[in-house]
């Protein structure tokens, strides 16, 4: 068990290093950092000095090690566009994106898992067919179209909910949250649904497929043959076994949620990391792009480590290995 | 008799599935329309001379004040909506299909080899796939787009937009093919016909492509269909975000982005008609993908 | 107690209703073990599933009556039927590895089952559960009950499954191939347990199996089924010892006896081919130096695998698959290799064919040494001289290739026949030689049954002009009547072409029919080698004796 977790951690470190290398290569090779940081009026000598100061003349490996080390210390460099520290820019945007992503994920789980269970247990029901058809259309509508439709219906036609921005926020330490005001929740609702719908359909289909697979397994048939009460059979036996693979995929999907928040944030002008990333792409603001990458990969790796721990908690085969 | 019917089971299922038939019909219609766009479209939306501002903002034929010549109305530039959509769909499909082809070749090749050789090679390919997974499709695509902006001289950037977009989408989709091909290859590697071929001393290339590949085509075909839908969605999303194709060569996503400006005004058709087309196209492809999945994985039926 | 009358089960399909079983009659008394025997597709499992009400959708009972005691099982509502399950009827499945929920402790699974059917406190249920496990033969039950299924070995797991099945005191247990996945020793313990339970608790068992030896050993009465219909039914000794129905007779003729060697089985030899059509292939195989016989000798062969890694600091302990194996196979003879699962039989085959690389030892094919694993290059002559017939005919032929292409591949690959038309002709003739219609070359594997596919697999091996043939459990996936046909075929081909054969099987009776000499393998070590007759009649190793004793056989007094 310890070995399993350690192995996963080492793999995570590998993924992070690879992403850091990607970010570093971006910074180093896409355009010339020095000419980006200086204006046309800077002399060649000054440029050369800056190059030396930045360590750009050092050996490649050495530069990468220093780059990674700086990241560890929280020093992410400066934006080409705003000349501000990238760390501050990203940090101020993290709360908005995380709140959006987590609420969207919760919506997708709260609806997706029960719907998946229902459609798996009643594969031939009329409601099942209706749900399946709806979700098929659901995965086929691009996130931005869903956003536009929600804005059109609830914002423009009905005028019930705001169509952009975060609404009222509350400052808790350095965390700016929209979860503590009604206004904030009203603003959060449409973007979160937009982001959640796609994940929801994926979650539902996955739960359904896995659950149907489990329902066919020998141990479910044996439990059925022993007359284990149906409710217990479905939830204690089948659902628990379904969740083992489902949890893995949901962990993988979290990356998708964060990535698609780029689109949602753009549609709703939600001031999160995604919007920042889009702006930095438009202005070829390489340091921000690179750091955004690293931050996203870090969240992804973190969530997947948590998933591994959950895995160990659910599945005794990973916890206890002795066979006697 | 039963054996005969079973051989054509897929066909039988198809004939008895209204959803699959409608989806095929819709997809085929859009595909053909896109293919023959230069011949059937009223105007060429890329050619400023072929349309006129005087025809701007005309509603679809069934609304008041419409010009019956423009069945689905015109945009603010006076472009016929049908023509724009056909050309837009053409561009979306060209990008989607080329991206998919690249992704499939890379992914299936690497996946087959990883499954066949296993060991260290497999570990390396899968770690690369892990990194790719940590950076989801849309992010990869945006990133490649951003890099292209950084390296390519501004002069040729416009000319290479389609190529960059295609490459961006391809690189974000290869992992699906690689993982599926690898998993299926692993299953086949334990089959005795593969062991027999290896035992004979056949070349790895022959074992992989002559023996294993035909046996894993089923799941790959499903991925191919589903990912065609993903590729089209991805292209639309990128164009919608304004970093895909520019407004003078609009794809479906660009058309929707342009239409967004009319969300609050009365010209609903400029936004919703391209949207409807995009959704209809993707839904049809997804329905077909689902149908194929049912055929190749009958247990989920 | 259980009475089945005129039972028919249908599965509606898009090609019309498929009748799985038709007009089945059967009755079982309390404490009786009733064997239900038949080959694949006979519908035996469907009978069991219909009784317990767990037919796979969309199957349904078309007509007939099912009564348990006074209860008409067909008239029950789904809720009532679910109450009857466990309470009055229970079931044991084939594979103990998959029958238990991996995420729940044995304790949880036992307690929930007991509490589902009787209103007892949790502690009372736990006490009953511990007592049950003790009764079933699990030592230290009070502690072991806290364990998860994966912490038990296969045999122990099947005991736990049985404990679960009897935890609610059912009147009837349907045991669907309960020992098929088990080794001989464990099988005999489980069968003893079933007999004891039938006697002491007066539980009726419906014992579904394809293994006639098992039926002969434990069943009081037996019903023989074929293609959904009952062929014959009655006391076990009478039905198996003096079968009346022609099908039962043919079936009994195909069962290999453990205590003697038959020259041939009395089963049909061909699948429709005319005997002379194979002449071309026969002459081709006999031309040149092909009549030369080649032996194989293994010396001190050791194969180790790395175990799964569980720590960064310690190398995982190696798993020794083959331990100093020395074996000499005489040219032109058949060497039988028997052993239980995990004994290293297949590893030995893989080492010879180069799929697995041994750690030490030598392998000699005739006078040439066989290089190990990957160091054997693709053009080494042994790649052609050594051929193999695999266990699973459903996976040994590439389902996407035409039979003609599958058979022509060795001819093309080894450069025997340059012309494609000639290859096709020779392939067709070879099919006749193995008893198939030559027009099969235009078809695909899925158009053939398991037995036919195994014939094709044999033809493919012969088309490489092998001198040494490895048959790795070539009949374990086949029904007993098909097994007899394939064994006959292998015998004929071996004597015609002077092949040297390594015949691997877990089935002692089959090996006795085939082998000149027999080697017994256990945990990677050779326990005993010798003339087959001697090994079976006067075994030297304790292990061989145990194996022979525990293999279920028909009492010799029954045989006609």
**Same domain as A160, residue A301:** yes
Between residues C551 and B63, the one the model is more confident about: C551
Same structural domain, A222 and A293 = yes
Separation CA C499–CA C467 (nearest Å):
6
Over residues A213-238, the pLDDT tens digits come to: 899 899 999 999 999 999 999 999 99
Ranges under pLDDT 70 in chain A: 31, 36-40, 321-324
- Tokens for A198? 């796609």
Task: Assign C232 a pLDDT band (cuts: 50, 70, 90).
Answer: very high
What's the pLDDT band for B1 if we cut at 50, 70, 90? very low
May I ask the CATH class of domain C2-88+171-252? alpha beta
The Cα of B300 is separated from the nearest Cα of chain A by a number of Å equal to: 7
C91 within 8 A of C48, measured Cβ to Cβ: yes
Model pLDDT for residues A157-214, shown as the tens digit of each residue: 888 888 777 777 777 777 777 777 878 888 888 999 999 988 888 889 889 989 988 9
Shortest CA distance from C373: residue in chain B: B199
The pLDDT of residue B3: 46
Mean pLDDT for all residues in chain B:
82
Q: Do C395 and B5 touch (CB under 8 A)?
A: no
Arithmetic mean of pLDDT, B194-217: 93
Taking contacts as CB-CB distances below 8 angstroms, the residues of chain A near B283 are 136-137, 140
Evaluate if residue C403 carries a pLDDT over 90.
Answer: yes
Task: Provide the pLDDT for residue C244.
Answer: 92
- From A319, which residue of chain C is nearest by alpha-carbon distance? C148
Nearest to A259 among B130, B138, B253 (CB): B138
Please state the domain count of chain A.
Answer: 2
Is residue B95 within 8 Å of B235, Cβ to Cβ?
yes
Contacts of A229 in chain C (CB under 8 A): 116
Q: Choose the final residue of a domain: A71, A104, A121.
A: A71
Interface of A with B in 229-258 (CB under 8 A): 252, 255-256, 258
| Residues A103 and A158 reside in one and the same domain | yes
Mean pLDDT (chain C) is 91
The confidence score (pLDDT) of residue A226 equals 93
The reported pLDDT for the residue numbered A28 is: 76
Q: Has residue A86 been placed in a domain? A: no
User: Do residues A52 and A99 both lie within one domain?
Assistant: no
d(CA C467, CA C478): 26
- Do B199 and C447 lie within an 8 Å CB cutoff? no
Write down the pLDDT at residue B246. Answer: 66
Domain co-membership, A67 together with A98 = no
Supply angle C-alpha C102, C148, A303, rounded to 5: 60
End-to-end CA distance of chain C: 33
Q: Is A273 on the interface with B (CB under 8 A)?
A: no
Q: Could you tell me the residue range of the domain that residue A33 belongs to?
A: 2-71
Instruction: Show the DSSP H helices in C389-531 as ranges.
Output: 403-413, 420-433, 450-462, 480-497, 508-514
Strand partners, C519: C337, C529
**Can you give the residue ranges of every domain in chain C?**
2-88+171-252, 99-169, 279-308+315-550
Q: How many CB atoms lie within 10 A of CB C200?
A: 10
Half-sphere exposure for A248 (CA within 13 Å, toward CB) = 10
| A114 inside domain | yes
C395 → closest Cβ in B3, B191, B199: B191
Question: Is the CB of residue B300 less than 8 Å away from at least one CB of chain A?
Answer: yes
Cβ-Cβ contacts under 8 Å, A321 against chain C: 310
A210, part of any domain: yes
Q: What length does chain B have?
A: 301
The pLDDT of residue C288 is: 67
Residue to mutate among A101, A120, A144, A287, with most B CBs inside 10 A, is A144
Considering the domain architecture, whether residues A45 and A155 belong to the same structural domain is answered as: no
CB-based contact A224:C88 (threshold 8 Å): no
Residue C320 has pLDDT above 50, yes or no: yes
Q: Read off the DSSP letter of residue C317.
A: P
The pairing of strands C386-389 and C318-329 is unpaired
Whether CATH 3.30.420.10 fits C279-308+315-550: no
- Neighbours of A (≥3 Cβ pairs closer than 8 A)? B, C
Topology alike, domains C2-88+171-252 and C279-308+315-550: yes
Q: Is residue A79 part of a domain?
A: no
Residue B2 has pLDDT above 50, yes or no: no
Please tell me whether residues A136 and A261 are part of one structural domain.
yes
How does residue C289 score in pLDDT terms, banded at 50, 70 and 90?
low
Interface test with C, best of A9, A222, A235 (most C CBs within 10 A): A222
| Whether residue A154 is found in the same domain as residue A215 | yes
The whole-number pLDDT of residue C509 equals 94
Residue A81 lies in a domain: no
Task: Express as a percent the part of chain B with pLDDT over 70.
Answer: 87
Structural domains of chain B, with CATH: 2-36+69-300 (1.10.3720.10)
Among B13-27, B61-75, C76-90, C487-501, the minimum mean pLDDT is found in: B61-75
Least confident of A144-158, C301-315, C498-512: C301-315
Q: Are residues A59 and A152 in the same domain?
A: no
Compute the average pLDDT of residues C25-48. 93
* Residue contact A218–C52, C-beta within 8 A: no
Clarify whether residues A42 and A97 are in a common domain: no
Of A26, A141, A296, the CB nearest to B147: A26
Say if residue C334's pLDDT is above 90. Answer: yes
pLDDT in tens, B73-131: 777 776 777 888 888 888 889 999 999 999 999 999 999 999 999 888 998 898 888 77
Name all contacts of A315-321 with Cβ < 8 Å and 24+ positions apart. Answer: A315/A244, A315/C102, A315/C103, A316/C102, A316/C103, A316/C105, A316/C148, A316/C150, A317/C102, A317/C148, A317/C150, A318/A1, A318/A4, A319/A1, A320/C147, A320/C148, A320/C150, A320/C151, A321/A1, A321/C310
| A271 in any annotated domain | yes
pTM confidence score = 0.85
State the DSSP H helix or E strand holding residue B151, giving kind and residue range, or none if neither: helix B137-151
| Predicted confidence (pLDDT) at residue B49 exceeds the cutoff of 90 | no
Q: Is a pLDDT exceeding 80 seen at residue B64?
A: no
For residue C303, is it left (φ>0), alpha (ψ between -120 and 50) or beta?
Answer: beta
User: Do the domain assignments include residue A82?
Assistant: no
**Most confident listed range (B80-84, C149-153, C471-475):** C471-475
Nearest neighbour of B193 by CB, restricted to C14, C396, C410: C396
Q: How far is A4 from chain C (nearest CA, A)?
A: 8
Q: Across the interface, do B150 and A30 touch by the CB < 8 Å criterion?
A: yes
CATH number for the domain harbouring residue A123? 1.10.3720.10
- Extract the tokens encoding A174: 């350095």
Residues A122 and A67 placed together within one structural domain of the fold: no
The residue of A17, A267, A281 whose CB has the most chain B CBs within 10 angstroms, and thus the best one to mutate to test that interface, is A281
pLDDT of residue B300: 44
Strand C500-505 to strand C468-472: parallel, antiparallel, or no bridges (unpaired)? Answer: parallel
- Residue B4 pLDDT > 80, yes or no? no
Q: How confident is the model at residue B247 (pLDDT cuts 50, 70, 90)?
A: low
Residues A102 and A149 in one domain: yes
Q: CB distance from A133 to chain B under 8 Å?
A: yes
Of residues A227, A232, A240, nearest to C83 (C-beta): A227
């Amino acid at each position: 068990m310890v070995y399993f977790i350690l192995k996963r951690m080492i793999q995570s470190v590998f993924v992070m290093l690879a992403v850091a290398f990607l970010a570093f290569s971006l910074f180093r090779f896409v355009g010339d950092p020095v000419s980006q940081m200086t204006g046309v009026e800077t002399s060649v000598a000054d440029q050369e000095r800056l190059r030396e100061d930045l360590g750009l003349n050092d050996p490649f490996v050495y530069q990468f090690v220093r780059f990674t080390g700086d990241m560890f210390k929280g020093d992410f460099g400066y934006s080409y566009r705003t000349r501000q520290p990238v760390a501050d820019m990203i940090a101020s945007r993290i709360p908005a994106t995380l709140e959006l992503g987590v609420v969207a994920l919760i919506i997708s789980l709260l609806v997706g898992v029960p719907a998946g269970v229902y459609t798996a247990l009643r594969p031939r029901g009329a409601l099942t067919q209706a749900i399946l058809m709806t979700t098929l259309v659901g995965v086929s509508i691009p996130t931005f179209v869903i956003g536009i439709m929600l804005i059109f219906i609830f914002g423009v036609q009905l005028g019930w909910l705001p169509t952009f921005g975060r609404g009222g926020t509350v400052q808790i330490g350095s965390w700016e949250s929209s979860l503590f005001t009604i206004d904030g929740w009203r603003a959060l609702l449409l973007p979160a649904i937009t982001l959640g719908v796609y994940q929801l359909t994926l979650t539902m289909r996955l739960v359904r497929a896995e659950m149907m697979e489990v329902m066919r397994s020998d141990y479910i048939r044996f439990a059925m043959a022993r007359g284990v009460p149906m409710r217990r059979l479905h939830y204690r036996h089948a659902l628990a076994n379904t969740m083992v693979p489902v949890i893995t995929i949901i962990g993988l999907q979290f990356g998708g949620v964060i990535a698609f928040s780029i689109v949602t944030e753009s549609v709703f002008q939600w001031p999160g990391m995604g919007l920042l990333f889009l702006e930095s792409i438009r202005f070829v603001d390489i340091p921000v792009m690179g750091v955004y990458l690293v931050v996203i990969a870090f969240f992804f790796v973190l969530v997947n480590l948590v998933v591994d721990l959950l895995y160990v908690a659910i599945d005794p085969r990973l916890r206890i290995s002795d066979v006697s | 008799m039963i054996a005969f019917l079973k051989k054509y089971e897929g066909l039988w299922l198809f004939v008895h599935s209204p959803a699959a038939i409608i989806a095929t019909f819709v997809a085929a219609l859009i595909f053909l329309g896109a293919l023959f766009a230069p011949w059937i479209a009223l105007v060429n939306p890329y050619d400023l001379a072929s349309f006129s501002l005087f025809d701007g903002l005309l509603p679809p034929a069934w609304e008041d004040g419409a010009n019956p010549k423009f069945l689905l109305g015109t945009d603010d530039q006076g472009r016929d909506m049908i023509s724009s959509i056909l050309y837009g769909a053409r561009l979306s499909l060209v990008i989607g299909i080329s991206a998919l082809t690249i992704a499939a070749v890379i992914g299936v090749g690497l996946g087959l080899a990883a499954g066949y050789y296993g060991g260290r090679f497999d570990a390396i390919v899968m770690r690369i796939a892990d990194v790719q997974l940590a950076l989801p499709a849309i992010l990869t695509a945006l990133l490649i787009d951003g890099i292209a902006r950084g390296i390519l001289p501004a002069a040729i950037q416009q000319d290479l937009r389609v190529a960059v977009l295609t490459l961006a989408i391809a690189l974000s989709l290869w992992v699906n093919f690689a993982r599926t091909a690898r998993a299926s290859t692993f299953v086949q590697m334990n089959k005795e016909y593969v062991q027999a071929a290896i035992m004979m001393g056949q070349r790895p290339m022959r074992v992989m492509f002559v023996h294993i590949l035909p046996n894993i085509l089923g799941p790959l075909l499903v991925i191919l269909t589903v990912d065609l839908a993903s590729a089209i969605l991805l292209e639309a999303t990128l164009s919608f975000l304004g970093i895909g194709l520019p407004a003078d060569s609009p794809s479906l996503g660009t058309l929707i982005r342009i239409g967004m400006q009319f969300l609050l005004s009365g010209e609903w058709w400029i936004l919703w008609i391209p949207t409807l087309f995009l959704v209809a196209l993707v839904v049809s492809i997804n329905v077909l993908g689902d149908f194929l999945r049912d055929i190749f994985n009958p247990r989920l039926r | 107690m259980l009475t089945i009358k005129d039972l028919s089960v249908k599965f509606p399909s898009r090609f019309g209703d498929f009748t799985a079983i038709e007009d089945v009659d059967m009755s079982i008394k309390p404490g009786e073990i009733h064997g239900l025997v038949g080959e694949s597709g006979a519908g035996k499992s469907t009978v069991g599933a219909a009784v317990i009400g767990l037919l796979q959708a969309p199957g349904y009972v078309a007509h007939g009556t099912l009564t348990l005691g006074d209860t008409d099982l067909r008239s029950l509502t789904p809720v009532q039927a679910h109450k009857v399950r466990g309470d009055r009827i229970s079931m044991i499945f084939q594979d103990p590895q998959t029958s238990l929920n991996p995420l729940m402790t044995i304790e949880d699974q036992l307690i929930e089952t007991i509490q589902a059917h009787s209103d007892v406190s949790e502690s009372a249920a736990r006490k009953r559960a511990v007592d049950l496990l003790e009764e079933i033969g699990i030592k230290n039950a009070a502690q072991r009950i806290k364990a998860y299924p994966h912490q038990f070995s296969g045999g122990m797991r099947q005991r736990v499954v049985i404990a679960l099945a009897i935890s609610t005191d059912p009147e009837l247990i349907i045991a669907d191939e309960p020992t098929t996945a088990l080794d001989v020793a464990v099988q005999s313990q489980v069968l003893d347990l079933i007999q004891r339970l039938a006697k002491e608790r007066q539980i009726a068992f419906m014992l579904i199996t394809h293994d006639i030896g098992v039926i002969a050993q434990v069943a009081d009465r037996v019903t023989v089924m074929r293609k959904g219909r009952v062929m014959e039914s009655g006391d076990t000794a009478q039905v198996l010892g003096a079968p009346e129905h022609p099908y039962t007779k043919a079936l009994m003729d195909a069962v290999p006896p453990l205590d003697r060697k038959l020259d041939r089985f009395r089963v049909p030899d061909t699948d429709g081919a005319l005997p002379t059509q194979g002449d071309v292939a026969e002459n081709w195989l006999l031309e040149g130096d092909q009549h030369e016989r080649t032996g194989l000798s293994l010396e001190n062969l050791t194969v180790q695998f790395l175990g799964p890694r569980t720590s960064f600091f310690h190398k995982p302990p190696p798993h020794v698959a083959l331990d100093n194996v020395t074996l000499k196979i005489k040219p032109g003879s058949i060497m039988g290799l028997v052993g239980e699962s995990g004994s290293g039989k297949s590893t030995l085959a893989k080492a010879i064919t180069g799929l697995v690389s041994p750690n030490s030892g030598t392998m000699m094919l005739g006078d040439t040494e066989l290089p190990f694993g990957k160091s054997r290059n693709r053009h080494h002559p042994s790649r052609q001289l050594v051929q193999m017939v695999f266990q699973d005919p459903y996976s040994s032929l590439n389902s996407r290739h035409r039979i003609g292409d599958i058979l022509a591949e060795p001819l093309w690959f080894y450069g025997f026949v340059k012309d494609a038309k000639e290859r096709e002709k020779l392939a067709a003739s070879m099919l006749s030689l193995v008893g198939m219609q030559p027009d099969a070359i235009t078809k695909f594997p899925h158009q053939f049954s398991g037995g036919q596919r195994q014939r094709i697999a044999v033809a493919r091996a012969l088309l490489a002009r092998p001198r040494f043939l490895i048959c790795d459990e070539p009949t374990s996936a086949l029904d007993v009547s098909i097994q007899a046909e394939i064994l006959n075929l292998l015998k004929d081909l071996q004597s015609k072409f002077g092949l040297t054969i390594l015949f691997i099987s877990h089935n002692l009776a089959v090996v006795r029919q085939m082998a000149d000499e027999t080697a017994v393998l256990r945990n990677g070590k050779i326990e005993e080698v010798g003339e087959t007759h001697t090994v079976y009649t006067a075994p030297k190793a304790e292990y061989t004796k145990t194996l022979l004793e525990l293999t279920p056989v028909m009492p010799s007094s029954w045989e006609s």
